[in-house]
Amino acid sequence: MPGLLLTVDGEGYPHTAFTWVVAVALDRLRFGADDGSTTLANLERSGLASVQIINEEGQPYLVKGNASIASRLIQSAPFKIALVEMGIVEVRDQSWIGVNVSPLAYDWAPDDRDQMIEMEQAVYAEMREWQG
């Protein structure tokens, strides 16, 4: 599912990036981080990350943990993106009573939509099945 990846730079400022996220176990997530990005540099420096996800029922969760680079390249992606694995330390329910939030979603351009959805599904499959 799409998620929002949060890291902190060397000066303590927050940084956010959209990413793909999959749960591979009750205590582990995998997500992508663009090659050469501030996000990847932050992860390599601190090893800490938070991922905000919104489930299909509209409930937002913040998942915190220790992250490490599992693979330098997700082969299915059309650009250079690393595969990151995060051991979950904490999950916080960020919902409010009586409020649903719309899940994040990519709305691909009509001409590329089918191809991009197929690519996105291949990325999710690769992230789930990666064996290192």
Q: What is the DSSP string of 30-69?
A: EEEEETT-HHHHHHHHH-EEEEEEE-TTS-EEEEEEEEEE
Is 37 within 8 Å of 89 (Cβ atoms)?
A: no
Domain residues for the domain of 107 are 2-129
The CATH number for 30's domain is 2.30.110.10
Burial of 38 (0-12, 13-18, 19+ CB in 10 A): middle
Domain count, the chain: 1
Residue 102 pLDDT greater than 90, yes or no? no
d(CA 112, CA 7): 31
What pTM, to 2 d.p., does this model score? 0.89
Segment 12-22 shows an average pLDDT of: 95
Question: What are the pLDDT digits (tens) for 42-69?
Answer: 999 999 999 999 988 889 999 999 999 9
Tokens 């694995």 belong to 85
Is 54 within 8 Å of 102 (Cβ atoms)?
A: yes
